[in-house]
Amino acid sequence: MTSVLVVDDKEENRYYLEALLGGHGYAVRSARHGAEALVLARQAPPDVVVSDLLMPVMDGYTLLRHWKADARLQPIPFVVYTATYTEAEDERLAFDLGADDFVLKPAEPEQFLERIEAVRSRPPATGPRPADPARADETDLLKVYSQTLIRKLEEKSLELESANAALQQDIQRRKSAEAALRVSEERFRLLAMATNDAIWDWDVEQDRRWWGAGFTDLFGHQPGAAESNEATWAAFIHPEDRGRVLAELQETLLNADGRWQCDYRFRRADGTWAQVQDRGHVIRDDARIAIRMVGGLSDVSERLALEEQVRKSQRMEAIGQLTGGVAHDFNNLLTVVLGNAEVLAEQLDPEPGKRALAQLIIGAAERGADLTRRLLAFARKQTLSPRAVDLNDLVDNLDPLLRRLLGGQIELGLRQASGLPPAMVDPAQLEHALLNLCINARDAMPDGGVLSIATGTHRTPAGDHYLALDVSDTGVGIAPEHLGLVFEPFFTTKEEGKGTGLGLAMVYGFTRQSGGFITVDSTPGAGTRFRLHLPLAEGTSVPAEPAPAQTAPSTGKARILLVEDDAQVREFALAQLRALGYRVTPAGNGEEALALLDADDGFELLFSDLIMPGLNGRQLATEARRRRPDLKILLTSGYPGRAAAADDGAPVLAKPYRRAELARHVAEALAGPSHTTQRPAAST
């Protein structure tokens, strides 16, 4: 097998020649410079040597001189294989020194192999060629040799300078890139600190996650708790959401868009669940493979809770509007039923059996009236007379009634803060609300328990100050799915026939109408606490109870203009007023009433419904006062709270009314001033 010694300082060149020659049956050895080649050749002379020219330690020209000066190596063919070429000097000098062939890089493989075979087949040069006549002697040859080496070194130096300049540019680019990376990383760190989100960075290839400080601030987890891999982060996702979230994430990694957004439940360090919104963006390499993903995790629990409160408030407002309208129409019907039942009861006084039937009608009508009052309380349309009330005194006054109401199985405990400022509420309505809460608490403790009533103060996160009235029990509690429905009208978990579902709705409506709000906390099996947040009447003292009003005359002779669009109610009121001795002229609407006022100035009282088509009661009262400043006015409505707030101080008779109430209000209106400048205390 023919052996070849390859001499070249560049590893890639040696590798190429070893592969080329070895693939064609040559045995190849290699050296990195001339000195190493001489050692290898003297140990085991090759059949051919292929050498580069410009190399460290010993260049190709020096190697060629030593080669041809060695009697043992001189017959072995020497092929120069170089990339630098100056025909007038390089090739000529190589042949003058005894080279057998001169091949330029890169040579075609077939051509190179042919040159190697040709060198092997011809007699080798036995020494340097005869001197060229142009070169006088060996001194000239060495001079050319030296000049050629110097020129090649200069060329190599220029190459090195060029390479060094390129290297410096590359180093500068790398430094600039590293500086830009540091700036980018610093910006990312500052962004992670400034945002309210938990910023994360996921190395998809290494499956490593990094979390910003928001991860601890929002969820309480310590740094590193979810940084190891995707599985540890997924462990914090609610089990019911985990499969969906991971499936959507994997789909995003394969999706060309690479944008991801997902809502799910995420476990906090204290074990509670946060509603979160996770957003991320996929970063891909040149092959469009996902290598990184960055994003942010937001806790949207509070926002969703607020949105739910808004939806609930809107729903409750719509229900309130509906119930208020129903209550208005129902009160008109009850006015007729209750009034006529009273007349029947009086006329049937000699017949006890029939009178008892009339009394049943009266009782049913009164229960219907109470039902509409509850509906109006929920709808916040009831008439309120707020004043400064001492909560502790109110609770103390109710204490005996509450103990009888609760029975012997339930223990009543009072915790009353001292020095409380008064609350600005309607005391009668507050008592009613407190009784409703206590009845609910009693029903929640069928086997007995403890009911606690506490008073105090409460400051909201916004800084608003309220008086707090707590009603707590140790009963069965409220299921989580029912907790958000307890204040809706007609919702009840009690057995059929044991509750209307309006008690808590009434409490809710009264509290909101008073300028406060109500909250509820409950743990199934451990009890429930309702807290009324009531507005303060700061700087005021609790006034004495108002003196009882004097009983108004039950009859009179005044002329009354009665205005009512409901025919049945109009006929009932007309009969009742005439039975009291008044001279009454009826009208079916506001326009008809104004025409009667223009035609007759003898009316002393305008008794009008508030809600009518066309000219309503408020507009009618305003126009009647403009025409007749001395005219007394009394309004009536199934919407008493709205009526009281809408009219400029006119007294209001709430429907349904009994005959005694009608007589008293009419007499008081006739005895009062024709135009009240101070509106009575009321709230809608």
pLDDT of residue 256: 74
Contact 522, 465 (CB under 8 A): no
pTM of structure: 0.38
pLDDT bin (cut points 50, 70, 90) of residue 79 is very high
pLDDT of residue 229: 58
Question: Can you tell me the distance from the alpha carbon of 90 to that of 53, in angstroms, rounded to the nearest whole number?
Answer: 9
pLDDT bin (cut points 50, 70, 90) of residue 548 is very low
Question: Can you tell me the distance from the alpha carbon of 664 to that of 553, in angstroms, rounded to the nearest whole number?
Answer: 7
Q: Give the chain's largest Cα–Cα span.
A: 169
pLDDT of residue 217: 80
Torsion, CA 529, CA 535, CA 539, CA 541, rounded to 10: -70
The kind and range of the H/E element at 468 are: strand 465-473
Helix (H, G, I), strand (E, B) or coil at 299: strand
pLDDT bin (cut points 50, 70, 90) of residue 545 is very low
Averaged over 602-607, what is the pLDDT?
92
Distances (CA, A) of 223 to 206, 213, 217, 266, 526: 19, 8, 10, 16, 36
Place of tokens 């410096």: 168
Out of 550-554, 583-587, 648-652, least confident range: 550-554
pLDDT bin (cut points 50, 70, 90) of residue 684 is very low
To the nearest whole percent, how much of the chain has pLDDT over 70? 75
pLDDT bin (cut points 50, 70, 90) of residue 377 is low
Per-residue pLDDT reduced to its tens digit, 155-175: 656 666 676 777 777 777 767
pLDDT of residue 214: 75
Backbone angles phi, psi at 82, to 5 degrees: -140, 160
* Neighbour-count burial of 264, counting CB atoms closer than 10 A to its CB (0-12 exposed, 13-18 middle, 19+ buried): buried
Question: Can you tell me the distance from the alpha carbon of 297 to that of 260, in angstroms, rounded to the nearest whole number?
Answer: 12
Question: Can you tell me the distance from the alpha carbon of 638 to that of 447, in angstroms, rounded to the nearest whole number?
Answer: 41
CATH topology of domain 195-299: Beta-Lactamase (3.30.450)
Show Cβ contacts of residue 17 under 8 Å, excluding neighbours closer than 6 positions: 4, 6, 8, 28, 30, 50, 81
Per-residue pLDDT reduced to its tens digit, 12-28: 888 888 988 988 889 99
Paired strand residues for 211 = 200
Name the CATH superfamily for 559-671: Response regulator (3.40.50.2300)
Encode 60-80: b = buried (16+ Cβ within 10 Å), e = exposed: bbbbbbbbbeeeebeebbbbb
Out of 289-298, 323-332, 351-360, 393-402, least confident range: 323-332
Residue 671 has pLDDT above 70, yes or no: yes
Question: Can you tell me the distance from the alpha carbon of 377 to that of 371, in angstroms, rounded to the nearest whole number?
Answer: 10
pLDDT of residue 400: 84
Per-residue pLDDT reduced to its tens digit, 614-657: 898 888 999 999 999 999 999 988 765 544 444 456 788 888 88
Domains 195-299 and 387-534 share a fold: no
pLDDT of residue 226: 52
- Domain boundaries in the chain? 3-130, 195-299, 387-534, 559-671
The number of residues making up the chain comes to 684
Averaged over 587-608, what is the pLDDT?
92
> What beta strand segments (E) does 610-656 contain?
632-637, 652-654
Show Cβ contacts of residue 557 under 8 Å, excluding neighbours closer than 6 positions: 581, 582, 583
Arithmetic mean of pLDDT over the chain: 78
Q: What is the DSSP-derived secondary structure letter of residue 65? A: H
Helix (H, G, I), strand (E, B) or coil at 112: helix
CATH topology of domain 387-534: Heat Shock Protein 90 (3.30.565)
**3-130 belongs to which CATH class?**
alpha beta
pLDDT of residue 209: 80
Residue 34 has pLDDT above 70, yes or no: yes
7 alpha carbon, distance to own chain's centre? 72
The kind and range of the H/E element at 250 are: helix 239-254
To the nearest whole percent, how much of the chain has pLDDT over 90? 19
Place of tokens 């005895």: 671
Paired strand residues for 103 = 81
pLDDT of residue 479: 83
Per-residue pLDDT reduced to its tens digit, 481-525: 777 777 776 666 665 545 555 678 778 878 888 889 888 888 888
Tokens of 335: 């006015």
Per-residue pLDDT reduced to its tens digit, 432-470: 888 888 888 888 888 888 999 999 998 887 778 899 999
pLDDT bin (cut points 50, 70, 90) of residue 588 is very high
Place of tokens 């406060």: 516
Out of 87-101, 213-227, 660-674, least confident range: 213-227
Place of tokens 């039942």: 341
Helix axes 427-443, 503-513, angle to 10 degrees: 150
Per-residue pLDDT reduced to its tens digit, 233-278: 888 899 999 999 999 988 888 887 788 899 999 998 888 999 999 9
pLDDT of residue 652: 83
pLDDT bin (cut points 50, 70, 90) of residue 177 is low
Question: Can you tell me the distance from the alpha carbon of 255 to that of 262, in angstroms, rounded to the nearest whole number?
Answer: 15
Out of 360-364, 573-577, 589-593, 667-671, least confident range: 360-364
Torsion 91-94-100-103 (CA) sign = negative
Averaged over 405-414, what is the pLDDT?
85
Place of tokens 């509450």: 402
